[in-house]
């Protein structure tokens, strides 16, 4: 996705076609810790577990995290739905969108490479 991963290993759980990933991404200066439930290549639920920034906490609210429900990837590995930005939280929104892509790509890879 154009940059080195934050960690060598990412935490995830799998049951059948369901995956849950715990991912972290820097917002402006501090990491945002999230959980992503993916089923059959579609995000079922997104949740911000820990938000450490001083601004942009709107990304933790259900009105924003619900925007990711039903989102998948298109051919060029971009999200198939436009996610609205939030004034004052631009970098946190970008981080969330990046983690959504990462979760979907990881689920796709793990589905095709089970071991």
32 contacts 50 by C-beta, under 8 angstroms: yes
Give Cα separations from 44 to 31, 53, 69, 80, 84 (angstroms). Answer: 23, 25, 5, 14, 18
Q: Which domain holds residue 93?
A: 11-112
Asked whether residue 107 is domain-assigned, the answer is: yes
Asked whether residue 3 is domain-assigned, the answer is: no
Asked whether residue 1 is domain-assigned, the answer is: no
**Coil vs helix vs strand at 38:** strand
Structurally, the chain folds into a number of domains equal to 1
pTM: 0.89
Asked whether residue 21 is domain-assigned, the answer is: yes
pLDDT digits (tens, 9 = 90+) for 87-115: 878 899 999 999 999 999 999 999 888 76
Task: Please state which of the ranges 16-25, 46-55, 56-65, 82-91 shows the lowest mean pLDDT.
Answer: 82-91
pLDDT at 89: 85
Asked whether residue 64 is domain-assigned, the answer is: yes
Q: Quick one: CA torsion of 85, 93, 80, 101, rounded to 10 degrees?
A: 170
Asked whether residue 6 is domain-assigned, the answer is: no
pLDDT at 61: 96
Asked whether residue 84 is domain-assigned, the answer is: yes
Rounded Cα gap, residues 98 and 30, in angstroms:
15
């Amino acid at each position: 996705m154009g940059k080195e991963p934050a960690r060598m290993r990412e935490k995830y759980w799998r049951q059948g076609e369901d995956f849950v990933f715990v991912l972290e991404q820097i917002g402006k200066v501090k990491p945002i810790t999230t959980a992503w439930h993916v089923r059959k290549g579609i995000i079922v639920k997104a949740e911000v577990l820990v938000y450490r920034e001083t601004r942009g906490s709107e990304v933790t609210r259900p009105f924003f995290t619900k925007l990711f429900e039903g989102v998948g990837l298109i051919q060029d590995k971009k999200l198939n739905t436009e996610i609205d930005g939030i004034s004052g939280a631009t970098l946190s929104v970008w981080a969330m969108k990046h983690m959504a892509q990462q979760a979907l790509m990881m689920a796709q890879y793990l589905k095709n490479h089970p071991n």
